[in-house]
């Protein structure tokens, strides 16, 4: 099998697929590495839609203003304007690739409204927008001769010049990414793949928490790999908890899109009282951080295990037609949204920080790009405005493909003979229980101590326990054969350490980071930042 490509894209969501198509269009050979099937991605789970100015009643200034307000002072205004203003062209490209957004009887786009938006501007495909986009992009990739898809392949670590020659300082100006170690999760072997540029499009980190709306694949792989390679990681404390996850009887958490409140659903306490007007002038359409903290406060004050989302009159009574997927999910849980208010709780949903990049997806480490949820461009700041994520992914993928293709054209060929992967013992260890136990303990620790409301003492407790888990897994990692569950746990622990470190750096409450010890905001907003400075494994 070919282990040499011009570019390797790790991940197969909207960012990765769009980036790969852009690179192939510019003549590069591209390999997409995805640890499940191509269709399994965070994008596939996106319900709401893509925020974009497409209506004459809307304008860029309004979308920029809404984004900045939601971001609570931490957004990069240049990034916000860049992405918002380039959105319409990229949406037209999605349509050209076959994405079919909903239209009204008059033939105009049927635009939804979500929390934090002052206008209706959400393009959607019912409540399965992500799936519609993912399907269209996968078809385009299948028809592109320059792109190959490696399913069931899990990236282990980036290969850098510093790692190869041992003399170049890790993460320094002379260091650069030249390949990836990849595990074939079905065959069991590890391949060392080389490329002129590598693109991380691995999605989010939701599985680091006990309760999340994210799929099982969201284990922070890209952030962890980038950190271990020496790239700058930024604003990891800004983890968005979606306010409304269905609290199923089996303990599961299914996402109930913000678009449901945009179509008239109301949050109520268990007595039936609508409580959001007590917390924000926008009521049920307040930004997500406000709504999540409000629900948390009501639950703690009343001792309730959940609040209620009353959607009985949402979408003018046509709930099942407007939200068929959500309706089916609720019915399977024994709940009819058109008749009964739904029990909902917050759950970990989206990472607003990540690998620090510019507006072409370039990281601080030459040869390494990042796009989508794994990246931190400055668009989201301290809190992501609903449905801005898909917009960011397609804009950065387009601009990044141009920059990466230019870089690849200037780079000399990566020489063959990169060091092969060295595995541990091939035996099946008795200590396998370590994986399950540590996986569960990590996620409970993060939920209890690094959740919606934090304190310095809670963060310090989390850091102490996570370090112990890291030591245990590190010993396991270097002594036994790698397997997917071990690699994902290693990445989750690394991600948890970065979240806690960034949270301890921020001695204020801003956006998604609320701490009891520093309830006020500092006058000037600043990014938290971490970067690996040693070769400690």
Which residues does the annotation mark as catalytic?
A: 288
Give Rg (Cα) of the chain.
Answer: 22
**In 76-232, which ranges are E strands?**
122-123, 147-150, 153-160, 177-184, 190-200
CA 15 – CA 372 distance, rounded (Å): 5
Count H helices and E strands in the chain, helices first. Answer: 14, 20
CA dihedral of 450, 70, 85, 108, whole degrees rounded to 10:
110
What are the residue ranges of helices labelled H in 113-241? 129-142, 161-165, 221-229
Beta-ladder partners of 10: 33, 200
Rounded distance, CA 77 to CA 79, Å?
Answer: 5
CA distance 90 to 296: 37
Q: Are strands 239-247 and 342-351 parallel, antiparallel or unpaired?
A: antiparallel
Whether residue 308 contacts residue 269, with contact meaning beta carbons closer than 8 Å, is answered with yes
Q: How many CA atoms, within 13 angstroms, populate the side-chain half-sphere of residue 485?
A: 11
Task: Note whether 452 and 210 are within 8 A (CB).
Answer: no
Neighbouring residues of 477: CB distance < 8 A, sequence distance ≥ 6: 424, 486, 490, 537
* Alpha helices per DSSP H over 100-220: 129-142, 161-165
Residue identified by tokens 């409204």 is 113
Query: What three-state secondary structure class fits 191?
Result: strand
Going from the C-alpha of 144 to that of each of 4, 60, 82, 200, the distances in angstroms are: 18, 33, 28, 20
User: What tokens were used for 207?
Assistant: 């599985």
CB 504 within 8 A of CB 458: no
Q: Give the DSSP letter string of 422-441.
A: ---B-S--GGGHHHHHHHHH
Q: How far apart are the C-alpha atoms of 496 and 353, rounded to whole Å?
A: 13
Pair type for strands 30-33 and 4-10: parallel
Give the separation between CA 158 and CA 176, rounded to whole angstroms.
10
């Amino acid at each position: 099998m070919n282990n040499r490509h011009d570019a390797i894209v790790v991940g197969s969501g909207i960012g990765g697929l769009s980036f790969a198509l852009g690179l192939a269009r510019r003549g590069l050979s591209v390999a997409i590495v995805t640890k499940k099937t191509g269709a399994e991605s965070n994008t596939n789970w996106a319900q709401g839609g893509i925020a974009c100015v497409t209506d004459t009643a809307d304008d860029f200034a309004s979308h920029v203003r809404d984004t900045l307000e939601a971001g609570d002072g931490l957004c990069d205004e240049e990034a916000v304007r860049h992405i918002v203003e380039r959105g319409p062209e990229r949406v037209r490209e999605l349509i050209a690739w076959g994405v079919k957004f909903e239209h009204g009887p008059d033939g105009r786009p049927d635009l939804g409204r979500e929390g934090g938006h002052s206008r209706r501007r959400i393009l959607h495909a019912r409540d399965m927008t992500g799936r519609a986009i993912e399907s269209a992009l996968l078809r385009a990739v299948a028809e592109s001769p320059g792109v190959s898809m490696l399913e069931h392949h899990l990236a282990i670590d980036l290969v850098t010049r510093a790692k190869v020659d041992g003399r170049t300082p890790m993460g320094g100006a002379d260091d650069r990414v030249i390949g990836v170690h990849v595990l074939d999760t079905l065959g069991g072997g590890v391949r060392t793949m080389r490329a002129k540029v590598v693109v991380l499009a691995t999605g989010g980190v939701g599985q680091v928490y006990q309760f999340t709306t994210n799929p099982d694949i969201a284990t922070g792989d890209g952030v962890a790999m980038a950190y271990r390679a020496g790239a700058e990681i930024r604003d990891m404390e800004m983890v968005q908890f979606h306010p409304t996850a269905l609290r199923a009887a089996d303990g599961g958490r299914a996402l109930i899109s913000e678009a449901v409140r945009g179509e008239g659903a109301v949050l109520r306490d268990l007595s039936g009282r609508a409580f959001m007007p007590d917390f924000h002038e926008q009521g049920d359409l307040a930004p997500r951080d406000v709504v999540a903290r409000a629900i948390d406060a009501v639950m703690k004050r009343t001792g309730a295990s959940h609040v209620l989302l009353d959607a009985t009159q949402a979408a003018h009574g046509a709930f099942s037609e407007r939200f068929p997927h959500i309706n089916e999910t609720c019915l399977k849980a024994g709940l009819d949204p058109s008749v009964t208010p739904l029990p909902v709780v917050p759950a970990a949903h989206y990472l607003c920080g990540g690998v620090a990049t510019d507006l072409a997806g370039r990281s601080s480490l030459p040869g390494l790009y990042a796009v989508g949820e794994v990246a931190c461009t400055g668009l989201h700041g301290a809190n992501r405005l609903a449905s801005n994520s898909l917009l960011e992914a397609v804009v950065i993928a387009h601009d990044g493909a141009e920059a990466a293709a230019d870089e690849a054209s200037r780079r000399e060929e990566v020489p063959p003979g990169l060091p092969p992967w060295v595995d541990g013992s091939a035996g099946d260890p008795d200590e396998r229980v370590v994986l399950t136990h540590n996986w569960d303990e990590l996620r409970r620790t993060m939920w209890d101590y690094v959740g919606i409301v934090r304190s310095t003492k809670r963060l310090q407790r989390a850091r102490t326990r996570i370090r112990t888990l890291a030591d245990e897994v590190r010993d396991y990692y270097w002594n036994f054969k790698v397997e997917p569950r071990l690699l994902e746990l290693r990445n989750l622990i690394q991600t948890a350490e970065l979240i806690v470190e960034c949270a301890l750096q921020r001695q204020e409450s801003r956006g998604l980071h609320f701490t009891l010890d520093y309830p006020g905001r500092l006058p000037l907003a600043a990014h938290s930042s971490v970067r690996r400075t040693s070769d400690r494994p």
